[in-house]
Structures are given as C-alpha cells and as structure tokens.
A and B are shown apart, each in its own frame.
Chain A
Amino acid sequence: SAVISQKPSRDICQRGTSLTIQCQVDSQVTMMFWYRQQPGQSLTLIATANQGSEATYESGFVIDKFPISRPNLTFSTLTVSNMSPEDSSIYLCSVGVGRATNTEAFFGQGTRLTVV
C-alpha cells in the first residue's frame, strides 16, 4: 500500500495568481499521477509524472498552465498557473503500487481549490 499526503488540503486564491500543490508518498514509486475533479464531475487525468523526465500531459492540459515537478521518487508538485474561476476544482495526486498487471492506485485526500 501507499500513504499519500497532499498539501494544502484547501485554498482560496485570487484570479491571476498561482498555487503549488505538494504530494508526498511514504514509499518510492515510479509514476505519479495528477487528476482534476471539477464540481459535480468525475476525475480527469491531467498528467503523468515520472522521476527524471518531463511530465506527460493529457489532451487539453498544457505544461504552461499546469507545470509539474518530480525531483525524486517520493515527491511531486503541481502548479496551477494564472488561475481563473474555471480552475476551481479538487486536485488529486495518485500513485500506482504493484506489478504492472496488478497495479492498485492510491489517492491523496485532494486539494480543494476555489478561485475568486
């Protein structure tokens, strides 16, 4: 299993500013994932963060808006840049644990972001 700590748990930010969300895992993992859950919606994958390489972004998400760092095997950050009210969402960090054919995903508690 894996225990994931996300900070901050929630924040209210002014439009045009940026927020960096931190994700700390209690074990070394190869891949970390960042998701967004907009109000009343399901989870959408933003990007996959591998240690030592650039993050891989899903369609509709770009590095300039959501820069990601992955300095080591237990830590990652996601920055939401130049925020607008449409960025108000829950952002979740996730890791996969187990053999490739038996991977189980664990999630942080999420960061509830409100942009005003």
Chain B
Amino acid sequence: AQSVTQLDSHVSVSEGTPVLLRCNYSSSYSPSLFWYVQHPNKGLQLLLKYTSAATLVKGINGFEAEFKKSETSFHLTKPSAHMSDAAEYFCVVSARGYGNKLVFGAGTILRVKS
C-alpha cells in the first residue's frame, strides 16, 4: 500500500520568513508526488509535482520541493512567506502500480502572521 504522513497539522510563520511543510511517503512502487493547496471555500490547486525527473521541483508562487528517496521525503519550502499563502496544503502520492490513485496526507494548515 502507499501512504503519506504530513508531520505537522499546523504551521505558523511570520510574513517574510521561510516556510517548511514536511511530508514523508511510503510506496512499494516508484511514486509520483504532489503538493496541492486549498484556500478556504476554494477548490484544490496543484502547486507542484514530482514524476521521476529532476528531484528539485519548482512550482507556482515561489514554492519548491525536493524529492529525497533515501529519506522518503518530499518537503515543501518557500523562502519568504506571503499573507496570501495562508491555506491548507496537502501532500499526495500516487504510483502506476496502484492504478495512479491519489492518496492524500492529512493536510497542514499554514498560518502567516503579519
């Protein structure tokens, strides 16, 4: 089976400081990994994805994530938080061996303080 663990349910940062949202995964097959963002009362938006190409993935709005196979991690980072980054973030794993079904982490709520 495959699974995702988001290590923090809530993260609070000050505007202008770095963001780190942690994600560990488990999969018996080579995984694809995604980060999605969900703003209040809005739909899910894809931030970035890893699909066996470059291990450092750049996404929208200045976010990036690094795939580390040895650590089974895919942490999401941003150098400088903006107020508009406040939202819930989901780390997601899928694999061809599991029919490309998405498995979502529990989510991390990011709060940005002014």
Find the residue from A31, A42, A44, A103 having the highest chain B CB count within 10 A: A42
Which residue of chain B has the shortest Cβ distance to A105 in the bound complex?
B102
Distance from A31 Cβ to chain B, minimum over Cβ atoms (Å): 8
**Tally of A-B Cβ pairs under 8 angstroms:** 49
- The number of chain A residues with a CB under 8 A from chain B is 22
Complex Cα–Cα for A105 and B101 (A) = 10
Decide if A74 is an interface residue (CB 8 Å cutoff).
no
- CB < 8 Å neighbour of B101 from A48, A108, A110: A48
The A interface, classified by DSSP as helix, strand, loop or mixed, is strand
Find the residue from B32, B34, B52, B100 having the highest chain A CB count within 10 A: B100
Q: Check if B104 sits within 8 Å of A107, measured CB to CB.
A: no
Complex Cα–Cα for A79 and B23 (A) = 33
Given contacts A104-B49, A105-B46, A108-B43, contact A96 B106 (CB under 8 A): no
Decide if A102 is an interface residue (CB 8 Å cutoff).
yes
Distance from A32 Cβ to chain B, minimum over Cβ atoms (Å): 12
Q: Check if B43 sits within 8 Å of A103, measured CB to CB.
A: no
Residues on the A chain within 8 Å of B107, using CB: 42
Distance from B87 Cβ to chain A, minimum over Cβ atoms (Å): 14
Complex Cα–Cα for A45 and B2 (A) = 13
Q: Check if B99 sits within 8 Å of A104, measured CB to CB.
A: no
- The number of chain B residues with a CB under 8 A from chain A is 22
Decide if A116 is an interface residue (CB 8 Å cutoff).
no
Residues on the B chain within 8 Å of A53, using CB: none
Q: Check if B102 sits within 8 Å of A42, measured CB to CB.
A: no
Complex Cα–Cα for A106 and B44 (A) = 8
Complex Cα–Cα for A101 and B96 (A) = 6
Some 14 contacts from A to B, beta carbons below 8 A apart, are: A33-B101, A41-B106, A42-B104, A43-B104, A45-B102, A45-B103, A96-B100, A100-B96, A101-B52, A103-B100, A105-B46, A105-B92, A106-B46, A107-B43
